[in-house]
Protein backbone atom coordinates (compact mmCIF):
# COMPACT_ATOMS: atom_id res chain seq x y z
CA UNK A 1 0.00 0.00 0.00
CA UNK A 2 2.77 2.42 0.93
CA UNK A 3 4.58 1.47 -2.25
CA UNK A 4 1.58 2.57 -4.30
CA UNK A 5 0.93 5.97 -2.73
CA UNK A 6 4.28 7.03 -1.24
CA UNK A 7 6.19 6.26 -4.44
CA UNK A 8 3.95 8.57 -6.48
CA UNK A 9 4.32 11.39 -3.92
CA UNK A 10 8.10 11.19 -3.59
CA UNK A 11 8.54 10.79 -7.33
CA UNK A 12 6.92 14.21 -7.80
CA UNK A 13 8.99 15.73 -5.00
CA UNK A 14 12.28 14.35 -6.32
CA UNK A 15 11.70 15.18 -9.99
CA UNK A 16 13.60 18.54 -9.85
CA UNK A 17 16.57 16.84 -8.16
CA UNK A 18 16.57 14.11 -10.81
CA UNK A 19 16.57 16.76 -13.54
CA UNK A 20 19.49 18.54 -11.82
CA UNK A 21 21.56 15.34 -11.80
CA UNK A 22 20.85 14.76 -15.47
CA UNK A 23 22.04 18.26 -16.30
CA UNK A 24 25.27 17.47 -14.45
CA UNK A 25 25.81 14.38 -16.58
CA UNK A 26 25.10 11.84 -13.85
CA UNK A 27 23.68 8.54 -15.14
CA UNK A 28 20.76 6.66 -13.53
CA UNK A 29 22.97 3.58 -13.08
CA UNK A 30 25.52 5.66 -11.15
CA UNK A 31 22.77 6.87 -8.80
CA UNK A 32 21.62 3.27 -8.29
CA UNK A 33 25.13 2.10 -7.41
CA UNK A 34 25.92 5.06 -5.13
CA UNK A 35 22.59 4.76 -3.36
CA UNK A 36 23.09 1.06 -2.67
CA UNK A 37 26.64 1.66 -1.42
CA UNK A 38 25.38 4.36 0.93
CA UNK A 39 22.61 2.17 2.34
CA UNK A 40 25.06 -0.69 2.87
CA UNK A 41 27.54 1.60 4.63
CA UNK A 42 24.85 3.01 6.91
CA UNK A 43 23.54 -0.43 7.80
CA UNK A 44 26.76 -2.40 8.17
CA UNK A 45 28.91 0.30 9.78
CA UNK A 46 26.43 1.77 12.29
CA UNK A 47 23.83 -0.92 13.07
CA UNK A 48 26.21 -3.65 14.31
CA UNK A 49 27.55 -1.12 16.84
CA UNK A 50 24.07 -0.18 18.05
CA UNK A 51 24.23 3.31 16.53
CA UNK A 52 20.72 3.06 15.14
CA UNK A 53 19.93 6.77 14.98
CA UNK A 54 22.93 7.74 12.86
CA UNK A 55 22.69 4.59 10.79
CA UNK A 56 19.08 5.39 9.96
CA UNK A 57 19.99 8.97 9.03
CA UNK A 58 22.65 7.75 6.59
CA UNK A 59 20.38 5.09 5.10
CA UNK A 60 17.51 7.56 4.66
CA UNK A 61 19.75 9.95 2.75
CA UNK A 62 20.58 7.22 0.24
CA UNK A 63 17.43 5.09 0.12
CA UNK A 64 15.61 7.64 -2.05
CA UNK A 65 18.03 6.84 -4.86
CA UNK A 66 15.59 4.02 -5.64
CA UNK A 67 13.13 6.69 -6.80
CA UNK A 68 15.63 9.13 -8.27
CA UNK A 69 17.28 6.70 -10.73
CA UNK A 70 13.99 5.63 -12.29
CA UNK A 71 12.83 9.23 -12.47
CA UNK A 72 16.06 10.17 -14.25
CA UNK A 73 15.69 7.33 -16.75
CA UNK A 74 12.14 8.38 -17.60
CA UNK A 75 13.04 12.05 -17.99
CA UNK A 76 15.99 11.20 -20.23
CA UNK A 77 13.97 8.64 -22.20
CA UNK A 78 16.52 5.92 -21.52
CA UNK A 79 14.47 3.44 -19.48
CA UNK A 80 15.78 -0.03 -20.18
CA UNK A 81 15.51 -3.65 -19.14
CA UNK A 82 19.07 -3.47 -17.84
CA UNK A 83 18.26 -0.50 -15.62
CA UNK A 84 15.20 -2.25 -14.20
CA UNK A 85 17.24 -5.40 -13.58
CA UNK A 86 20.07 -3.51 -11.87
CA UNK A 87 17.68 -1.51 -9.72
CA UNK A 88 15.73 -4.58 -8.59
CA UNK A 89 18.88 -6.60 -7.90
CA UNK A 90 20.55 -3.89 -5.83
CA UNK A 91 17.32 -3.33 -3.88
CA UNK A 92 17.71 -6.89 -2.62
CA UNK A 93 21.33 -6.18 -1.69
CA UNK A 94 20.35 -3.05 0.25
CA UNK A 95 17.55 -4.83 2.10
CA UNK A 96 19.90 -7.65 3.01
CA UNK A 97 22.40 -5.17 4.43
CA UNK A 98 19.77 -3.47 6.60
CA UNK A 99 18.43 -6.62 8.21
CA UNK A 100 21.90 -8.13 8.24
CA UNK A 101 23.02 -5.12 10.28
CA UNK A 102 20.24 -5.74 12.79
CA UNK A 103 21.19 -9.43 12.99
CA UNK A 104 24.86 -8.58 13.59
CA UNK A 105 23.90 -6.28 16.46
CA UNK A 106 21.77 -8.91 18.19
CA UNK A 107 24.36 -11.61 17.54
CA UNK A 108 27.02 -9.40 19.15
CA UNK A 109 26.59 -6.57 21.62
CA UNK A 110 22.81 -6.80 21.53
CA UNK A 111 23.13 -10.35 22.88
CA UNK A 112 19.72 -11.68 21.89
CA UNK A 113 19.71 -14.84 19.80
CA UNK A 114 15.94 -14.80 19.34
CA UNK A 115 15.93 -11.29 17.88
CA UNK A 116 18.97 -12.21 15.77
CA UNK A 117 16.92 -15.08 14.34
CA UNK A 118 13.93 -12.76 13.77
CA UNK A 119 16.14 -10.29 11.90
CA UNK A 120 17.52 -13.11 9.73
CA UNK A 121 13.97 -14.27 9.05
CA UNK A 122 13.02 -10.72 8.01
CA UNK A 123 16.01 -10.71 5.65
CA UNK A 124 15.20 -14.10 4.11
CA UNK A 125 11.44 -13.65 3.90
CA UNK A 126 11.84 -10.26 2.23
CA UNK A 127 13.99 -11.84 -0.46
CA UNK A 128 11.53 -14.70 -0.97
CA UNK A 129 8.52 -12.35 -1.12
CA UNK A 130 10.21 -10.51 -3.98
CA UNK A 131 11.22 -13.78 -5.64
CA UNK A 132 7.69 -15.19 -5.63
CA UNK A 133 6.41 -12.23 -7.62
CA UNK A 134 9.35 -12.25 -10.03
CA UNK A 135 9.12 -16.01 -10.55
CA UNK A 136 5.37 -15.91 -11.00
CA UNK A 137 5.67 -13.18 -13.63
CA UNK A 138 8.49 -15.12 -15.32
CA UNK A 139 6.12 -18.06 -15.96
CA UNK A 140 3.53 -15.73 -17.45
CA UNK A 141 1.28 -15.03 -14.46
CA UNK A 142 0.14 -11.54 -13.42
CA UNK A 143 0.58 -12.18 -9.65
CA UNK A 144 -2.21 -9.70 -9.05
CA UNK A 145 -1.73 -9.16 -5.32
CA UNK A 146 0.15 -6.52 -3.35
CA UNK A 147 0.31 -8.22 0.01
CA UNK A 148 0.25 -6.93 3.57
CA UNK A 149 3.93 -5.98 3.98
CA UNK A 150 5.90 -5.21 0.82
CA UNK A 151 9.33 -3.61 0.52
CA UNK A 152 8.15 -0.08 1.30
CA UNK A 153 6.39 -1.21 4.46
CA UNK A 154 9.38 -3.31 5.56
CA UNK A 155 11.73 -0.36 5.18
CA UNK A 156 9.48 2.26 6.77
CA UNK A 157 8.56 0.12 9.78
CA UNK A 158 12.10 -1.08 10.47
CA UNK A 159 13.92 2.20 9.80
CA UNK A 160 11.50 4.42 11.70
CA UNK A 161 11.70 2.06 14.66
CA UNK A 162 15.50 1.86 14.43
CA UNK A 163 15.85 5.64 14.25
CA UNK A 164 13.60 6.15 17.27
CA UNK A 165 15.28 3.31 19.17
CA UNK A 166 18.58 5.05 18.55
CA UNK A 167 17.37 7.97 20.69
CA UNK A 168 17.98 5.71 23.67
CA UNK A 169 21.66 6.63 23.32
CA UNK A 170 20.67 10.27 23.86
CA UNK A 171 18.94 9.51 27.14
CA UNK A 172 15.37 8.76 26.02
CA UNK A 173 14.30 5.89 28.31
CA UNK A 174 12.50 2.75 27.17
CA UNK A 175 12.37 3.71 23.51
CA UNK A 176 14.82 0.99 22.45
CA UNK A 177 11.98 -1.53 22.71
CA UNK A 178 10.56 -0.19 19.43
CA UNK A 179 13.09 -2.02 17.26
CA UNK A 180 12.29 -5.54 18.55
CA UNK A 181 8.58 -4.79 18.16
CA UNK A 182 9.15 -3.59 14.59
CA UNK A 183 11.18 -6.67 13.69
CA UNK A 184 8.44 -8.96 14.93
CA UNK A 185 5.82 -6.95 12.98
CA UNK A 186 7.91 -7.16 9.80
CA UNK A 187 8.53 -10.88 10.31
CA UNK A 188 4.87 -11.73 10.79
CA UNK A 189 3.76 -9.37 8.03
CA UNK A 190 6.30 -10.81 5.60
CA UNK A 191 5.16 -14.35 6.37
CA UNK A 192 1.54 -13.33 5.69
CA UNK A 193 2.55 -11.57 2.47
CA UNK A 194 4.46 -14.63 1.33
CA UNK A 195 1.38 -16.75 1.96
CA UNK A 196 -0.79 -14.29 0.03
CA UNK A 197 1.50 -14.42 -2.98
CA UNK A 198 1.87 -18.20 -2.94
CA UNK A 199 -1.92 -18.62 -2.79
CA UNK A 200 -2.36 -16.09 -5.60
CA UNK A 201 0.22 -17.79 -7.83
CA UNK A 202 -1.37 -21.20 -7.17
CA UNK A 203 -4.80 -19.88 -8.12
CA UNK A 204 -3.57 -18.05 -11.22
CA UNK A 205 -1.53 -21.07 -12.31
CA UNK A 206 -4.56 -23.35 -11.96
CA UNK A 207 -6.68 -20.92 -13.97
CA UNK A 208 -4.00 -20.61 -16.68
CA UNK A 209 -3.57 -24.39 -16.90
CA UNK A 210 -7.34 -24.87 -17.14
CA UNK A 211 -7.55 -22.28 -19.91
CA UNK A 212 -4.73 -24.00 -21.79
CA UNK A 213 -6.49 -27.37 -21.56
CA UNK A 214 -9.70 -25.83 -22.85
CA UNK A 215 -7.84 -24.30 -25.80
CA UNK A 216 -6.23 -27.64 -26.65
CA UNK A 217 -9.56 -29.42 -26.39
CA UNK A 218 -11.20 -26.84 -28.66
CA UNK A 219 -8.39 -27.14 -31.19
CA UNK A 220 -8.61 -30.95 -31.23
CA UNK A 221 -12.39 -30.84 -31.61
CA UNK A 222 -12.16 -28.52 -34.59
CB 73 within 8 A of CB 80: yes
* Distance, first Cα to last Cα, the chain: 46
66 is catalytic: no
Q: Is 171 helix (H, G, I), strand (E, B) or coil?
A: coil
Helices (H) and strands (E) in the chain, counts: 8, 0
- Cα 122 from Cα 145, distance rounded (Å): 20
The torsion angle over the Cα atoms of residues 192, 198, 200 and 205, rounded to 10 degrees, is 180
| DSSP, res 174 | T
Phi, psi of 26 (to 5 degrees): -80, 135
Q: Which of 29, 66, 69, 91 is catalytic?
A: 91
Which residues are catalytic, by number? 91
Amino acid sequence: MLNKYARAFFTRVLTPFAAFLLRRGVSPDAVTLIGTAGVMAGALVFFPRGEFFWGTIVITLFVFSDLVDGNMARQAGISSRWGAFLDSTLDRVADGAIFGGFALWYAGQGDDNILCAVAIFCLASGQVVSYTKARGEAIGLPVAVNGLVERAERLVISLVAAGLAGLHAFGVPGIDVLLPIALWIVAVGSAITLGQRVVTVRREAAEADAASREERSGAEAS
